[in-house]
Amino acid sequence: MTYAPTIVAAAALALSAGVAAAQDLARGEALFEPCKSCHSLDPAKQGMAGPHLAGLKGRVVGSAEGFDYSPAFKAARAKRIIWDEARLNAYLADPDAMFKGGWMSPQGLDDEADRAAVTAFLMRGR
């Protein structure tokens, strides 16, 4: 069987993109490690100081059951604001700018590639 060069090139590009995505997820998981001191990835467990982040993609902001959110997150929940890739990436850049008075204490992730990797990891749709 013979394949047209464009089909082979398209398949190689798709494979390359898949490998890059997997590497990005692994990098995001490694970068997320310090966040585990406050956030759980298990929906049955809240973190020590923050809500669980399981199933974050498409979830209403401030809606993890059993967590007492800041007034800023409660207001976002009342407006039915949804977590998506763009919102999470912007939040990770500057948490206080997005939700003034939120309780997340760390500074944002300054490095764009780091933010993208953590965002991809958290938004992977578990």
pLDDT in tens, 77-124: 999 999 999 999 999 999 988 999 888 876 778 899 999 999 999 998
Query: Is residue 77 within 8 Å of residue 60, measured between CB atoms?
Result: yes
The pTM for the full model equals 0.78
Q: Residue 22 pLDDT > 70, yes or no?
A: no
**Can you read off the two tokens belonging to residue 60?**
């209403």
Section 30-42 average pLDDT: 93
How many domains in the chain? 1
Q: Report the CATH number at residue 93.
A: 1.10.760.10
Domain that holds residue 105: 5-122
